[in-house]
Amino acid sequence: MQEQLVDLQNQAKNDLAKAKSLKEIEEVRTSYLGRKGALNNIMKRIPGLSPEQKALIGKLANKLKVEIDRDVEEAIKRLDLTSEVPLVMKGEKTTAQDTGGVFDLTLPGKRKPYGHLHPITQTINEIKRIFCMLGFAVEYGPEVEQEYYNFDALNVPQEHPSREDFDTFYLDNKLLLRSQTSTVQIRIMEKKKPPVRMIAPGKVFRPDTVDARHASMFHQIEGLMVDEEVSFRDLKFVLTSFSEIYFGQDIKMRFRPSFFPFTEPSAEVDISCSICNAKGCSVCSYSGWVEVLGAGMVDPNVFEAVGYDPEKYTGFAFGLGVERLTMLRYGIDDIRLFFENDIRFLSQF
């Protein structure tokens, strides 16, 4: 039996020398030291031995166990663990089981990729920053809104097409999902006396058929400035300054006469197409210009609705589309990309 034990130790050494991975080393270890392993098979025979033999073999067996354990440790040290350990970034597991029962403290931790803000949130943050520099406060209003704030107080007549069911999401009790952030102008003017200088970013909702340019939810930023002697000149200055900071000095801006119920006079504002340098492309419909916002001088009826004296105060308002600005800046041609949550798209920003 003594000889058997010595043989066992030599065999174990040989087997360990041949083992090339943690898994193989572990297999060798269990074949000798495991519950059904070779050493245990010998130990089982100990009870039938004479007392002296028992003591001798018992001692030897214990020594053997310690030595095989030590050989196992050494065999592991000889392995090149860097190639042995599964690479964390490949998404494989690194539990003690996977590494053959060994927990290697020196392994790098599981690294999770950093996230970042959604491109739309980034644009909103940047626009907020620019208007804050121009002295505007940031205000917010509810997305579920009363008809009064979305239409009536904004001088939108009952028969206006935007009030139709197919242009606005109606809820019960004269509530609706706001179709514009102009609602926030009214809420702020109700609460504050002039001077007012604010922007209001937020989501708006319209039952449009979804396509490359339309989504049923998108983001707007409303702007409002009211004081004594505010003129169209101030509107032009503020919007031109914004455009120069957001798009750069080379971008031109133009004002086209237009109509909005809450402003008079009103304008639609275009910038020279940043995608094609105003040479003409599909984004600007080969005109060299892209519409980015609506604006105008606040209609006296709106001031009356909020209790401001239209003889004393004047003001301008504007509303811009956040998705549109983001698309122009990065040359994105489909609004749906913002809402599909596709990491391959989002990770580019």
Q: Note the residues at the interface with ligand DAH (CB under 6 A).
A: 180, 182, 222, 260, 263, 294-296, 317-319
Q: What is the DSSP string of 206-251?
A: --PPPSSS--SEEEEEEEEEEETT--HHHHHHHHHHHHHHHH-TT-
Q: Which 3 state secondary structure label does DSSP give 258?
A: strand
Of 19 and 198, CB closest to ligand DAH: 198
Token pair 């200088």 is found at 197
- Least Cβ distance, residue 280 to ligand DAH (angstroms): 26
Of 265 and 280, CB closest to ligand DAH: 265
- Least Cβ distance, residue 180 to ligand DAH (angstroms): 4
Provide the edge-to-edge strand list for the sheet that holds 169-170: 144-146, 175-177, 169-170
- Least Cβ distance, residue 302 to ligand DAH (angstroms): 10
Of 71 and 222, CB closest to ligand DAH: 222
- Least Cβ distance, residue 344 to ligand DAH (angstroms): 31
Residue 5, CA distances (Å) to 34, 150, 328 in order:
15, 91, 80
CA of residue 149 relative to chain centroid, distance: 31
**Residue 183 contacts residue 155 (beta carbons within 8 Å):** no
- Least Cβ distance, residue 121 to ligand DAH (angstroms): 20
- Least Cβ distance, residue 87 to ligand DAH (angstroms): 51
Q: What is the DSSP string of 118-142?
A: -HHHHHHHHHHHHHHHTTPEE----
**Residue 348 contacts residue 229 (beta carbons within 8 Å):** no
Of 141 and 319, CB closest to ligand DAH: 319
Of 217 and 276, CB closest to ligand DAH: 217
- Least Cβ distance, residue 318 to ligand DAH (angstroms): 5
Of 32 and 262, CB closest to ligand DAH: 262
CB environment 174-213: b (16+ within 10 A), e (fewer): eebbbbbbbbbbbbbbeeeebebbbbbbbebbbeeeeeee
- Least Cβ distance, residue 249 to ligand DAH (angstroms): 25
Q: 89: exposed, middle or buried (C-beta count within 10 Å: 0-12, 13-18, 19+)? A: exposed
Q: What is the DSSP string of 260-304?
A: ETTEEEEEEEEEE-TTTTTS--TTTTTSSEEEEEEEEEEPHHHHH
Of 246 and 260, CB closest to ligand DAH: 260
Of 304 and 340, CB closest to ligand DAH: 304
CA distance 144 to 187: 13
